[in-house]
Amino acid sequence: MSKAEPLVLIVSGPSGSGKSTLVQKILELPGTMLSVSCTTRPPRKTESDGKWYNFVSEAEFQRMVEQGEFLEYAQVFGKNWYGTPRKSLDDALALKRDLVLEIDVQGALQTKQKLPGAVAVFVMPPSRADLEHRIRARGQDSEDEIRRRLERARQEMLNYSSYDFAIVNDDLERAGREVQAIALGSRCRVARMEDRIRDILNSFGG
């Protein structure tokens, strides 16, 4: 397994849970890289192509789906499409990096099905009141949008048991340490160490 597959770390969590900040914490660790998703949604002003997303047309996205170029893909809010290119896996393997996927629940389930060795982390707000406070503090959303986000958060969290780890983001420093610990510790899973262990056993005469 360790030969064919990089360590894949999936991070999901409701909008406003702070998952992107925790993804950055993982990326501070040497030997990690972010998988850049493709999306059909238009870029925001602050977003440059190829850094957080590759922005593609619907036609191009469809072509990639048909040619099996996605590890997972999903339509979010019944509107825009998001997908993780399989190529990310090859790149991570070639560079000997752990691959970090910031994807939603649907994408996480697809990825875990295809890559059972992937490690899935769910980031949660400590409470509804806290999440509502964070969403309001951003000041981007209408009342309707806030209600929709909170309901979507609830629905996403019902899938927590498909994940390996859960982090409650009530203290960013502690949560950051935890997500880094999960990433580092996952490198030592026996299934990932088998080549190394076999070499050691061989030195003992098998």
Query: Contact positions toward a copy of itself, by CB under 8 A?
Result: 121-122, 124-129, 150, 153-154, 157-158, 160-161, 163-168, 177-178, 180-190, 193, 196-197, 200-201, 203-205
Pick between residue 91 and residue 141 the one whose CB is nearest to a copy of itself: 141
Q: Report in angstroms how near the CB of residue 46 gets to a copy of itself at its nearest.
A: 30
Q: Report in angstroms how near the CB of residue 85 gets to a copy of itself at its nearest.
A: 28
d(CA 6, CA 3): 8
Pick between residue 14 and residue 85 the one whose CB is nearest to a copy of itself: 14
Strand 70-76 and strand 80-85: the pairing is antiparallel
Pick between residue 103 and residue 167 the one whose CB is nearest to a copy of itself: 167
For residue 178, list its beta bridge partners.
none
Q: Report in angstroms how near the CB of residue 136 gets to a copy of itself at its nearest.
A: 16
Q: Report in angstroms how near the CB of residue 89 gets to a copy of itself at its nearest.
A: 23
Is residue 20 classed as helix, strand or coil in its secondary structure? helix
Amino acid symbol at 192: R
Task: Give 75's DSSP letter.
Answer: E
Q: Report in angstroms how near the CB of residue 21 gets to a copy of itself at its nearest.
A: 16
143: Cα separation from own chain's centroid: 28
Pick between residue 27 and residue 184 the one whose CB is nearest to a copy of itself: 184
Pick between residue 75 and residue 155 the one whose CB is nearest to a copy of itself: 155
> Mind giving me the DSSP string for 23-50?
HHHHHTSTTEEEPPEEE-SPPPTTPPBT
H or E segment to which residue 198 belongs: helix 190-203
